[in-house]
Each structure stands twice: as structure tokens, then as C-alpha cells.
Amino acid sequence: MSRATQPVPQLKRVTDVAPLRRLVREWRTDGAKIALVPTMGNLHEGHLSLVRQAREHATRVVVSVFVNPSQFGPGEDLEAYPRTPEQDRAALETVGTDALFLPSADTIYPFGVDEMTRVSVPGLSAVLCGASRPGHFDGVTTVVCRLFNIVQPDIAVFGQKDYQQLLIVRRMVADLHLPVRVLSAPVQREPDGLAMSSRNRYLDAASRAQAPGLHAALQETADALRAGRRDFAALEAEGAARLMAAGMRTDYFAVRRATDLGLPDAATGPLAVLAAAYCGPARLIDNVRVDV
């Protein structure tokens, strides 16, 4: 039977480590290849695109939903972060998810967040979003490493919208020799170009109208790079000015090497244009890769 004609699997809901590992062992006994899609829930089409990509590369797909306290800083939106477990489950059933892992904080951090063993990727975690949100990426790599240890997937799928996060996870996997292949999926966008994000829920009508200006500014800079401009500092300043003109407050607007987020020079290969900006109550991030 081809994959296209296989019946949609029945979604299994699991909340603890031992039953999830038993389930994965059963699948592996049958020769299955396992994929993991880590999420914080409040799923939208961007998340579902990750699940679809996972199904293309694996026999069984596990999606984790865990709002990770260790990646939120003081004053950030941990308590307000949208949680929609029943909607998430219904959405995952439509795209062929095999297991939904819904751990508690005590399951992920049995000794508490303050006493947890930490995983840190220096360098990459200190720039851009890492500079604005100190400790954020340590929380990301700490929880992702735990999820990899719990699920032991062959494949994990992450979205390109969180481009810095994607590079950091790949660096962690390479540095720790973790037997996981990290795949990426393209940014999913609204018709006006806004990158899909759970935090878009925070946008009121006025800020929602302004928000597409983030992607528009990135695209203008990317087009200039494709046309041959290499005055990177001037391009960054112009991009930040576009965000301000669109009604947003710039956190950063940067042109970096796509491979490692280092500062580019005239001989640099693939580039990434990345930005974070405050639009009304929401902090939005986005990026555009430029192959030059």
C-alpha cells in the first residue's frame, strides 16, 4: 500500500516518558522510522506543514506540545502564551500524527527549572534574538535535547521562521553527536506576507495592518543584495528605517552569513536577512535567505 493510500493513523495521547518510550519501541520493532516535531502548541498551518514534512520522511510522527518555562525571561509572556490543547489535538488528527506528547513541567524538569541540567550553545546563542532575550536559547536547547532523549527520533523538523533557533539546534546535534537528522520547513505566510506565528494572536486591528511591513522590509533588503549591493551597514540602517516608517519599533535588523550568522563580507556566500520588531503588543521575528 502506498503512503498516499495508507489510512490516517489513530492519534495516541501520551503524557509521560515511560509509555511514550514503550510506544516508540513497538514502532521500531515493526521497522518504523520516527520523526519528532517539537512545538509549544496553539498550532497553526505553519506547525501543520512541519508535520506533513515529517510524514514524508518517516513512518511514525510524534508531535510534542510543551510551553517551555526555561525559554521565557522575566516579564515575558509565559502565563499569557496561548494554550489550545483540544484544538491542537483536532488539527493534528487531520495531518496524520501518530502520537501527541503532552508532558508536564515536572516530567520535563524532574528536579525543577532552577536545578535543571542545562545545555548551552555558546556564540550562536548570544547574538540577535539571544542578545535581546538572554538565556532564551539555553532554554530552547535544554528542552530540545531532553525531547530528543525521551523520543529518540531519527528525524526532527523545525521551521525556518525561527532561523537562528534552527542553526542552534543543528549545532547542538553536531556537537553532541546526537543521532538525529534535523530538517527544516519553509516559512508559512499569510496572504499579505506576515509569517504565521502563535504570537500573531496578540495583534490588534491596527498592529495587524502594520505587521506585513516586517516581511516587506526584509524582501526589499534581500532584493538589494541580489542586485549586488554589499554595503551591509547601510542596508541594515535602511531596513530599520522601513520598520519605523511602518509603525514598528526595531529590535534588530541584520544581514548575516546564512551558515553561522557571522558578519558578512564582500566574498560571503549565502546570506540571511533577519529582523525582530515590536508591532503593537507583539514581538515579531522573520527572515529571508538570499543565495548570492
By annotation, the residues acting in catalysis are 47
Residue 224's CB is within 10 A of a number of other CB atoms, namely 19
Residue 261's CB is within 10 A of a number of other CB atoms, namely 20
Per the CB < 8 A criterion, the answer to whether 255 and 217 are in contact is: no
Of the candidates 147, 170, 152, the one whose C-alpha atom is nearest the C-alpha of residue 160 is 170
Residue 284's CB is within 10 A of a number of other CB atoms, namely 27
The C-alpha cell at 53 is 514534512
- Rounded to the nearest 10°, the torsion over CA 37, 40, 42, 43 is -10
Per the CB < 8 A criterion, the answer to whether 145 and 120 are in contact is: no
The C-alpha cell at 88 is 491542537
**Backbone phi and psi for residue 233, each to the nearest 5 degrees, phi listed first:** -65, -40
Per the CB < 8 A criterion, the answer to whether 20 and 101 are in contact is: yes
d(CA 196, CA 190): 6
Of the candidates 170, 40, 166, the one whose C-alpha atom is nearest the C-alpha of residue 105 is 40
d(CA 38, CA 115): 23
The C-alpha cell at 199 is 504570537
